[in-house]
């Protein structure tokens, strides 16, 4: 139970980092998953789930007021499902679980922002009268709301992960197919994101150059 407690705390920290506190990028799946794996004593499972979900996260461009999936908590939940599993084929179902949790996290972001807006409208007269305490109060409540969101999403994620871990939902063939499809979807998604960022000119050329360099590394290794 102790590692699950620590991994829950890690999930909350990851959820807070996504938008509200710091944005030091511990919420990136490659960090969130790997650290969750280390906490649970299965670093490699965390790295596998984290790297798989990072491919999906590379498509996200968090500009303006856009809402985006919480892949960090998704990676934490996915790692709980994959840690100490007898077969690497569990990565597929763990990553799918991560995607579901990421989507739940995205819905949570919308709820938190709406509540923040409601709170702001209530305190608007004080803000417009120049009350600095109202500024601090809104910031404090925003952090508390985000903490609650991270706690709820992490809780849902870990509960689903324990269900996946202890109830055999898939045959070996289905698990294999799911892993193949999720890895393929992740690679396609990351390529889409990179091509969108690069545009049609110089950026795309550098992306293609990188692909070629990666292929050379594989051949040399």
Footprint on residues 122-181 left by other proteins (CB under 8 A): 127-132, 135-136, 138-139, 141-143, 146, 170-171, 173-174, 176-181
Query: Which of residues 1 and 26 has its CB atom nearest to other proteins in the complex?
Result: 26
Residue 176 beta carbon to other proteins: minimum distance, rounded to whole angstroms: 7
Name which of 1 and 75 has its Cβ closer to other proteins: 75
Which H or E run contains 73? helix 71-82
Quote the DSSP letter at residue 85: -
Q: Where would I find the beta strands (DSSP E) of 56-187?
A: none
- Residue 147, judged by CB atoms within 10 A of its CB (0-12, 13-18, 19+), counts as middle
Minimal distance, residue 174 CB to other proteins, in Å: 4
CB of 78 to other proteins, least distance (A): 12
> CB of residue 6 vs other proteins: minimum separation in angstroms?
17
The answer to whether 68 touches 60, Cβ cutoff 8 Å, is yes
Cα 1 from Cα 97, distance rounded (Å)? 21
- Hunting for tokens 């650290």 — which residue is that? 35
**One residue of 111, 159, 163, 209 binding other proteins per CB under 8 A:** 209
Cβ at position 175, least distance to other proteins in Å: 9
**How far is residue 198's CA from residue 206's CA, in Å, rounded to a whole number?**
8
Cβ closer to other proteins: 64 or 86? 64
Q: How many whole angstroms separate alpha carbon 216 and alpha carbon 221?
A: 9
Considering only residues 69 through 128, tell me which ones interact with other proteins, judged by CB under 8 A.
69, 88, 91-92, 95-96, 99-100, 102-103, 106, 113-114, 116-117, 119-121, 127-128
Binding mask 20-59 for other proteins (x = CB under 8 A): xxxxxxx-x-xx--xx-xx----xx-xxx-xxx-xxxxxx
In the complex, minimum distance from the CB of residue 149 to other proteins, in angstroms, rounded to a whole number: 12
Maximum CA extent, the chain: 67
Element (H, E) at 197: helix 172-198
């Amino acid at each position: 139970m102790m590692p699950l407690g620590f991994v829950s705390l890690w999930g909350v920290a990851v959820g807070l980092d996504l938008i509200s506190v710091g944005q030091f990028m511990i919420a990136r799946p490659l960090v969130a998953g790997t650290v969750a794996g280390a906490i649970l004593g299965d670093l490699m499972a965390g790295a596998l789930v984290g790297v798989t979900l990072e491919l999906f996260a590379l498509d996200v461009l968090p500009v303006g007021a856009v809402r985006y999936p919480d892949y960090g908590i998704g990676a934490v939940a996915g790692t709980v499902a994959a840690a100490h599993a007898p077969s690497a084929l569990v990565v597929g179902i763990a990553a799918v679980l991560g995607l579901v949790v990421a989507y739940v996290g995205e819905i949570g972001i919308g709820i938190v922002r709406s509540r923040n807006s409601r709170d702001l409208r209530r305190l608007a007269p004080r803000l417009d009268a120049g009350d600095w305490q109202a500024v601090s109060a809104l910031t404090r409540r925003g952090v508390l709301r985000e903490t609650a969101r991270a706690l709820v999403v992490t809780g849902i994620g870990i509960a689903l992960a324990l269900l996946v871990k202890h109830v055999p939902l898939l045959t070996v063939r289905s698990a294999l197919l799911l892993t193949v499809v999720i890895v393929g979807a992740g690679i396609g998604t990351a390529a889409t994101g990179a091509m969108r960022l690069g545009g049609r000119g110089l950026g795309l050329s550098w992306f293609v150059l990188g692909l070629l360099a990666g292929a050379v590394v594989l051949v040399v290794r």
